[in-house]
Amino acid sequence: MISIQSFLKYLEFEKRSSNHTLIAYRCDLEQFLSFCQQKNIHQLSAVTKKVVRTWVVKMVEDGMSPKSVNRKITALKSFFKFLMREGFIEQSPAEGVVTPKIPKKLPVFVRNSEMDHLLDDIPFTNDYEGVRDKLILELFYGSGMRLSELVGLSDRDFDLQNGMVRVTGKYKKDRIIPMYKQLVHLVDHYIKVRNKEFGVNKDASFFLTGKGEKIYHKLVYRVVNKYLALVTTLHKKSPHVLRHSFATSLLNAGADLNAIKELLGHANLNATQVYTHNSFEKITDIYNQAHPRS
């Protein structure tokens, strides 16, 4: 039987999938194969549509979220499509399997006034970690980049003379994001403070821990959560909330939706259009307050 590893190599080298996707797909497929073994199915050619549906029903009954179930089905469909391509099966038993409906959620965002208060009024320490933490917040809010994109930054990604930063997004696609003058100044100041603290190493990660090691996702998440808690009562206080805040701020200020799509690195406009709901709510409030007949 063909191994999951062969499929993951195909995703990594031909589809250029992210490491996060590879880890998730491995886990999803191993769970499915374990389920098959419990049903005494030991060959992929013996898997039927009924088996896949039974797996889906079990996940739903176990209380798994529709989003997680859909991701696992997507992984399975991709795996069986790969098996068809390699000639191991003729038809995919996962094709046509109905996925649970995911309820739409509006993006959670921090108001402009709250972000201004955090970045302009809240004091940050002048040591390395204080300078780093403020820049992390400014970069998220000023560029809309993802957590993985920020963690993956290096000095070479910054063009301070032209006020731009290059980020590597999903499927290893690069995009250029402009930076406002204050953000450029903060980046320049951070580099000087970091180099004074740890020495010059342009091949190292751009952001470092307090010990001079490559920064990691959980540390960045803690930084964002800590500072957002000072200005907002939102239940969710994550880097992605700052990404939503970036997009919502631009849209409310009249930015073109296609331009926001490019800045965020979305593959299609549907992913960006979710922000129009928040914008429409604001417009509705203004209308209700301002129109003489409302």
Provide the 10 A C-beta neighbour count for residue 40: 7
Q: What CA–CA distance (Å, rounded) separates 151 from 136?
A: 10
pTM strictly above 0.75:
no
Choice among 275, 282, 287, 293 that is catalytic: 275
pLDDT at 41: 92
Catalytic-role residue among 72, 132, 237, 243:
243
CATH class of 4-85: mainly alpha
| Beta-bridge partners for 214 | 208
Query: Where exactly does CATH 1.10.443.10 map onto the chain?
Result: 112-289
Sequence letter at residue 243: R
Contact status, residue 294 vs residue 287, Cβ threshold 8 Å:
yes
Please say if 170 is a catalytic residue.
yes
Which CATH superfamily includes the segment(s) 112-289? Intergrase catalytic core (1.10.443.10)
Please say if 216 is a catalytic residue. Answer: no
Is residue 266 among the annotated active site residues?
yes
CATH 1.10.150.130 placement within the chain: 4-85
Q: Which of 15, 170, 175, 221 is catalytic?
A: 170
Structural contact between residues 104 and 121, judged by C-beta atoms closer than 8 angstroms: no
CB distance 137 to 118 below 8 Å:
yes
Tell me the pLDDT tens digit for each residue of 32-46. Answer: 999 999 999 988 889
Backbone angles phi, psi at 264, to 5 degrees: -80, -20
C-alpha dihedral (143, 184, 218, 274), degrees to nearest 10? -10
pLDDT at 1 (0 to 100): 47
Out of 49, 53, 111, 240, which one is annotated catalytic? 240
Q: What pLDDT is attached to residue 294? A: 42
pLDDT of 98 reads 80
Catalytic residue among 134, 146, 194, 244: 146
First to last CA, the chain: 67
Q: Given 194, 237, 244, 266, which residue is catalytic?
A: 266
Going by C-alpha positions, the residue among 275, 277, 23, 276 that lies closest to residue 148 is 23
The verdict on whether 275 is a catalytic residue reads yes
How far apart (Å, rounded) are the C-alpha atoms in residues 288 and 294?
5
Q: Which residues of the chain have pLDDT under 70?
A: 1-2, 103-104, 276-294
